[in-house]
Structure 1
Amino acid sequence: MSTLMASEHVEIWTDGGCKPNPGPGGWAAILIYKGTIKELTGGELETTNNRMELTAAAEALEALTRPCKVVLHTDSEYLKNGITRWMTGWVRKNWRSSTGDPVKNMDLWRRILDAAKPHEIDWRWVRGHSGAPLNERADELATQARDELLKTAKTL
Structure 2
Amino acid sequence: MTFRITSLPLAPFQSLFALDDAALAALGARRMIADAPNSAPCRISLADAEPGEALILLNHRHLEDPSSPYRAEGPIFVREAALEARPAPGEVPDILGRRLLSVRAYDADWMMTDADVVEGRELGDRLMQWFADDRVDRIHVHTARRGCYLAEAERA
TM-score, length-scaled by structure 1: 0.28
Higher strand share: 2
TM-score, length-scaled by structure 2: 0.28
Which structure ranks higher in relative contact order (CA pairs < 8 Å, sequence separation ≥ 6)?
Answer: 1
